[in-house]
């Protein structure tokens, strides 16, 4: 089902500036994920961090980001996406400056977790704002391609910019750059064109806490296993399973609460009712589950590679950033082409092509064919991610654009978190395995997609 708009369509000229602002906001969120990769050696030296400590410096951001994306989409639908977006951007800029002043590793880990909260407020809201600006599917597809290109350039710029900043002023400089970007985003999105009406959906706090606990404990278990701390890993894994079981029970109870209320206290019960964290209507949409699986596999590959490569190349920060360019440049050049392909052929062919390229790139990287492997990986990501966004937004029922964006990006960030945790476990002992595992996942996701019916 396509997204419809109830407001009068804004003139094309009035939509360009807010679209740039929304795209720049996502640019900043992604930049913070990639710019830190080349800072890992300097960060380890400065704060005396182990590999596990570096994993937490990265995953504390992605765990919180992933866990809160589900609810932040619902919050955006409830209170207005533009309000959520601007609050998240302001918080992101301020917290980035605090990260730059972090006195030690675990202070940085905690601040990165808070940064994940701010990031989660921005992303699904930005997708809902684009849906509001561009209610027609073809125009929205082109706008999403622009959004993906601008934001994707963060992945391209991140390693190089990070290398330059770290080389000039150390790892703290990679956080200072977010302050001016946040100010620019707030200025560009100050107009009325991006205002999204409030909704009525309530927020399920208990289920959200269960999501955070599940992801955090599962990540801790994987990192502990990579460090061969088996008792720690077993205890965290058991706790993660218990949290996941609790989440299932809470979600089932929330869905049962959707049944009609027939007793005399129905009105009071209706006011207390909260919906599930994951809207069942989204999961029932055709092809949604397979698309989410592809999104998780793509981010697993991207983030895992960006974590492993700086630790295995043994080069300076600038040289490392330049070495990774063949993978990141397609993120800038590819999305506009992918947008035209999606508009003409639909999202399925680019998704199949993207997963195939990612699988091939992983095989080459594991075989130490660096440049070609990085190029294929980058082209695969550039084909897959814009197609995924278009497919999910087109499938979202009316009034759930924020929730759909939150679900897609939550699953993607879960993939990113697992990518760092799994890749980190093999990064120093078996780097070829760390680079090959993502290819296996992408091949499996592409096969599942190929076996499903056409949209």
State the helix-helix crossing angle for 105-133 and 12-34, rounded to 10 degrees. 160
Q: Which domain holds residue 159?
A: 12-193+203-257+278-451
Residues 231, 340: Cα–Cα separation, whole Å: 51
Beta-carbon-side half-sphere exposure of residue 22 (alpha carbons within 13 Å): 32
pLDDT averaged over the chain? 78
Q: Does residue 337 fall inside a structural domain?
A: yes
Alpha carbon 327 to its chain's center:
18
Question: Rounded CA gap, 391 and 295, in Å?
Answer: 11
DSSP tag of 4: -
Helix residue ranges, H only, 170-272: 173-176, 178-188, 205-226, 230-256, 266-272
Q: Which of 95, 212, 92, 155 is nearest to 331 (CA)?
A: 155
* Residue-level pLDDT at 238: 92
277 pLDDT higher than 60:
yes
Residue 434 in domain: yes
Whether residue 162 is contained in a domain is answered as yes
Per-residue confidence band for 405, with pLDDT thresholds at 50, 70 and 90: low
Angle at 236 between CA 232 and CA 239, to 5 degrees: 145
Both tokens of 163, joined, read 């290398």
In a domain, 268, yes or no: no
Residue 397: DSSP 8-state: P
Rounded to whole angstroms, how far apart are CA atoms 216 and 227?
Answer: 17
d(CA 251, CA 279): 10
**pLDDT given at position 114:** 92
Count of structural domains within the chain? 1
pLDDT of 451 higher than 80? yes
For 75-117, what is each residue's pLDDT tens digit?
Answer: 777 777 778 888 899 999 999 999 988 888 889 999 998 998 8
> From CA 438, how far away is CA 304, in angstroms rounded?
8
| Cβ(66)–Cβ(417) below 8 Å | yes
Residues near 252 by Cβ (< 8 Å), separated by ≥ 6? Answer: none
Over residues 318-335, the pLDDT tens digits come to 787 788 888 877 877 777
CB 358 within 8 A of CB 301: yes
No. of helices (H) and no. of strands (E), the chain: 19, 0
Quick check: is 3 in a domain? no
CATH of the domain at 69: 1.20.1250.20
- Span 289-305, pLDDT tens digits: 787 888 889 888 888 88
Q: How far from the centroid of its chain's Cα atoms is residue 84's Cα?
A: 17
- At 103-155, the pLDDT tens digits run 888 899 999 989 988 988 887 788 778 877 777 767 777 777 777 667 667 76
The verdict on residue 143 lying in a domain is: yes
- How many residues are there in the chain? 455
Q: How many Cβ atoms from other residues are within 10 Å of residue 197's Cβ? A: 11
Residue 165 lies in a domain: yes
Average pLDDT estimate for 180-190: 88
Asked whether residue 142 is assigned to any structural domain, the reply reads yes
Reported as a single tens digit per residue, the pLDDT across 146-181 is: 776 676 677 667 777 777 888 888 888 888 888 898
The whole-model pTM stands at 0.69
């Amino acid at each position: 089902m396509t997204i419809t708009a109830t407001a009068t369509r804004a003139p094309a000229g009035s939509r360009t500036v807010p679209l740039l602002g929304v795209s720049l906001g996502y640019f900043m969120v992604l930049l913070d994920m990639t710019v830190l990769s080349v800072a890992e050696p300097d960060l380890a030296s400065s704060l005396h961090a182990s590999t596990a400590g570096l994993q937490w410096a990265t995953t504390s951001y992605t765990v919180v980001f992933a866990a809160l994306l589900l609810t932040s989409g619902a919050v955006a639908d409830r209170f207005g996406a533009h309000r959520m977006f601007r609050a998240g951007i302001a918080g992101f800029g301020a917290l980035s400056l605090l990260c730059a002043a972090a006195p030690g590793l675990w202070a940085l880990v905690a601040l990165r977790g808070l940064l994940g909260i701010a990031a989660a407020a921005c992303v699904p809201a930005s997708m809902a704002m684009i849906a509001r600006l561009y209610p027609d599917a073809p125009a929205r597809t082109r706008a999403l391609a622009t959004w993906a290109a601008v934001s994707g350039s963060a992945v391209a710029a991140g390693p190089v910019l990070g290398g330059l900043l770290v080389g000039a002023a150390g790892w703290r400089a990679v956080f200072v750059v977010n302050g001016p970007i946040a100010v620019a985003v707030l200025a560009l999105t100050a107009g009325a064109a991006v205002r999204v009406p409030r909704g009525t959906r309530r927020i399920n706090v208990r289920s959200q806490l269960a999501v955070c606990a599940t992801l955090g404990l599962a990540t801790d278990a994987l990192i502990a296993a990579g460090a061969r701390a088996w008792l720690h890993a077993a205890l965290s894994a058991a706790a993660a399973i218990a949290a996941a079981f609790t989440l299932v029970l809470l979600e089932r109870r929330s869905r049962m609460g959707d049944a009609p209320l027939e007793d005399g206290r129905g009105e009071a019960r209706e006011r207390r009712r909260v919906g599930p964290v994951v809207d069942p209507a989204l999961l029932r949409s055709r092809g949604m589950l397979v698309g989410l699986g592809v999104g998780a596999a793509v981010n697993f590959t991207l983030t895992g590679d960006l974590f492993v490569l700086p630790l295995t190349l043994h080069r300076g920060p600038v040289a490392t950033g330049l070495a990774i360019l063949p993978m990141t440049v397609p993120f800038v050049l590819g999305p506009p082409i992918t947008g035209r392909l999606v508009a003409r052929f639909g999202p399925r062919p680019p998704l199949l092509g993207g997963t195939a390229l990612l699988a091939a790139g992983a095989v080459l990287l594991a075989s130490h064919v660096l440049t070609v492997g990085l190029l294929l990986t980058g082209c695969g990501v550039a084909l897959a991610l814009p197609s995924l966004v278009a497919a999910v937004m087109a499938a979202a029922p009316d009034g759930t654009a924020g929730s759909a964006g939150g679900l897609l990006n939550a699953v993607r960030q879960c993939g990113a978190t697992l990518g760092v945790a799994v890749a980190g476990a093999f990064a120093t002992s078996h780097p070829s395995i760390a680079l090959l595992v993502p290819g296996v996942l992408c091949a499996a996701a592409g096969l599942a997609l190929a076996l499903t019916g056409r949209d």
